[in-house]
Amino acid sequence: MLSSVVFLLLFQWVVLTESAEPEQYSGVAAQLVEDECEDARPQFIQPLRTLAANGLIAQEDLHLRGPETSLGSWMAALAKLLHLDPYAAFECPLIMTSHIRKAADSALYLLQKKRARVLLQIGNMFKLSAMSRWYTEVADEQQRLGLPMNTPPPTKKQRFQPRMQMDYQLGLALLTQQLLEPPVEPRKRWPAGLPKPKIDVLSICVYSPDKTSNTVLDSPLPGMTPENHKQYVAQTGLNNYVMHDKLLMPDREAHYSKFLVVYQHLQQNPGTEWVFFMDCDAFFTTFDFTVFDLLATYADPTTEAGQKVNFIVAEDTGGINTGVFLVRNTPWSFDYLQRVTLSPFTTAWDQSMFFTAAVNATLFSDLDHDFQLPPEVRFVHQKHLNAFVPPASKDWGGYEWQVGDFARHFAGCPWQEKPCLDLMYETLEHGRRQYSNVGNARTDL
């Protein structure tokens, strides 16, 4: 077996050196890159050749030396590219999609299903990037030919890599079905007599007018969710609610100001022990299960393991959804948020940035055992943090909100569509009924 000590040395070599590809495969690696990434820019050709050659070494290891050695070779090859040349990885995302799937297969040979799932979740990010480019290329060709927008493309261009799509869809769905952590039941209450931490709730509500909207020109959400958030904060004993109506990165989408807003708030408020971030399209839907109870359930302050937890977020088939999350005010969290800020993995907006920064610390180490999250990170079931609505609950393979769940998040269901906006108003009213009755339900708030 590939010992942890050996792999640590290997990983250090990967990160600290820039050796060329293995000589025995240099020629074929150059040809593979030329065939599979014919438009690669010059500065990215050598890293891609090295990846191709190291991938062939990993395949050789599988046939001659076994899956343990093969997995080590795959993880070293991927770590080298992702840490040293991440932009080369995105130069030809379809290559990464294929290589990462092979690495996941090696993990599955060793029954390391958790590692395989995380690898497929990362590979899926590259798959989405490749799909986006394919879609753009097809649309550009239609425009170049002067064809109407609704003209179907040629048959062979109507589908994008169907076999690869099926491999990922099937693998992620089945592994998630097996490995998704169920919601912890019964939910815990914050321990009586234990001082409650100081928790601030943050949100960003910034929307531009949308002339293509099927509902109204200006988003009504800035006039809806703050009411829900403020009432929840007031009635459940949280410290403060801060709604940002300006972006720290005004030239980018609101998602990319999220981690900066949290970082800045923690830095400027050292007395705040936790920040609870909630998107402007997410509503609290039960006032009986509080953020304090959430911490008692998933970061129990009376246990050593619970005291180590610094970041709590809901997981789904594709990885995580950062519409709702908690961050503890600690040095670890500052370091983590800095890594998120610097992450080039923006395929799924901030979510892929948060996800890769969370899993990288343990994904490439201790290959003798299956993957485990760092002790500072806790992925929880959507029921207790961030439940979806249709169509995301179906199209993304997520959990669909039910009465009694913690929050309802309208990811993938925008205010510009009437069914979604109607459901948002319905959810606002549901929340109002909750906080009007909360006094009858809890005596410890």
Query: What is the C-alpha to C-alpha distance for residues 326 and 257, in angstroms, rounded to an integer?
Result: 16
Cβ atoms of 281 and 401 within 8 Å: the answer is no
If phi > 0 it is left, if psi is from -120 to 50 it is alpha, else beta; for residue 283 that is beta
Q: Give the pLDDT confidence of 138-194 residue by residue, as tens digits.
A: 888 877 878 887 777 777 677 899 999 999 999 999 999 999 999 999 999 999 999
Dihedral angle, C-alpha 128, 129, 132, 136, nearest 10 °? -160
Average pLDDT, the chain: 91
Confidence (pLDDT) at 3: 42
Closest-CA residue to 138 (of 126, 154, 162) = 154
Retrieve residue 253's tokens.
């989408």
Query: What is the C-alpha to C-alpha distance for residues 116 and 172, in angstroms, rounded to an integer?
Result: 9
The 3-state DSSP class for residue 341 equals: helix
Confidence (pLDDT) at 20: 54
Q: Give the pLDDT confidence of 329-370 residue by residue, as tens digits.
A: 999 999 999 999 999 999 888 999 999 999 999 999 999 999
Confidence (pLDDT) at 21: 63
Confidence (pLDDT) at 8: 46
Cβ atoms of 407 and 385 within 8 Å: the answer is yes
CA torsion sign, 155 to 100 to 14 to 357?
positive
Is it the case that residue 385 has pLDDT exceeding 80? yes
Classify residue 218 as exposed, middle or buried by CB count within 10 Å of its CB (0-12, 13-18, 19+). Answer: middle
Segment 190-203 shows an average pLDDT of 97
Closest-CA residue to 118 (of 350, 323, 371, 374) = 371
Cβ atoms of 291 and 231 within 8 Å: the answer is no
Q: Give the pLDDT confidence of 42-90 residue by residue, as tens digits.
A: 999 999 999 999 999 999 999 999 999 999 999 999 999 999 999 999 9
Could you give the count of Cα atoms lying within 13 Å of 292 in the half-sphere of its Cβ?
Answer: 20
Q: Give the pLDDT confidence of 34-55 residue by residue, as tens digits.
A: 999 999 999 999 999 999 999 9
Confidence (pLDDT) at 349: 84
Q: Give the pLDDT confidence of 245-258 residue by residue, as tens digits.
A: 998 888 788 888 99
Confidence (pLDDT) at 142: 78
For residue 280, how many other CB atoms are within 10 A of its CB?
24
Residue type present at position 201:
V
Confidence (pLDDT) at 445: 63
* pLDDT, greater one: 140 or 399: 399
Confidence (pLDDT) at 19: 46
Confidence (pLDDT) at 150: 74
Q: What is the CATH number of domain 199-441?
A: 3.90.550.10
* 11 band by pLDDT with thresholds 50, 70 and 90: very low
